[in-house]
Every structure is written in C-alpha cells, then in structure tokens.
Amino acid sequence: MASRTKLSGIQRQALALYRGFLRTARLKSPEERRRIESVVSAEFRENARSVDRRNFVYIEYLMRRGKRQLEQLKNPDITGLSTLQINKASSIPELGVSTGRQ
C-alpha cells in the first residue's frame, strides 16, 4: 500500500468543507445538485490554483466565508448557489445563495 502524505490541519478543514458542500448538494433537486457541485468544484480549484499556500490570513478568511455559505445552503428555503464575477485585475469569484423566491 502506498503511503499518503499527511495533510495539514487547514488542508483537512478545506477537504471537510468541500465534502460538506457535496453532502448538502445531495439534499437539493438533481439539476441544482449538478450546478452546486460544478460551482463548488470550480471555486475550490480556482482558489487552490491562485491563492498562495502561505497566505494563511486569506485562506482562513475563505474558510470562514465558505462555512457561512455552507450553513446558508443547508437551509431548506435555499435552492442553490450563484456566482458573481467582479471584473477587476484581481477578480475573485464570489459564491452566493438563491432562495427560489422572487
């Protein structure tokens, strides 16, 4: 059996947050589930690619923001996620939640 590299504490937290989003997505409709999985996957991949691993302050900020968004997504009135692209030099996609109510 190949030995695995041990994950740091913050890596384990990020993985748990990602899994939490995927578990919560299972509670939504099939089409929203696919959309949530797609948005969450893209967000995590983009942050893994673009955020410096030594920038702990920013990583902790992203973790707190992700936890808040996950708690909102767990609400049965919330139907899915949306994205907001800010067109700046250092644009960072923002996740949002939608309720299905107008």
Asked if residue 86 has pLDDT above 80, the reply is no
Residue 6, in any domain of the structure:
no
Mean pLDDT score of the chain: 85
Long-range CB pairs of 20-27, under 8 A, 24+ apart, other chains included: 20/70, 21/66, 21/70, 21/73, 24/70, 24/73, 24/74, 25/73, 27/74, 27/76
Higher-confidence position of 67 and 92: 67
Q: What is the pLDDT of residues 50-83, one digit of tens each?
A: 999 999 999 999 999 999 999 999 998 887 777 6
Asked if residue 1 has pLDDT above 60, the reply is no
Question: Kind and range of the H or E element at 48?
Answer: helix 30-50
Residue pair 77/99 in contact (Cβ under 8 Å)? The answer is: yes
Residue 36, in any domain of the structure:
yes
Domain that holds residue 48: 11-98
Number of domains making up the chain:
1
Residue 45, in any domain of the structure:
yes
Residue 5, in any domain of the structure:
no
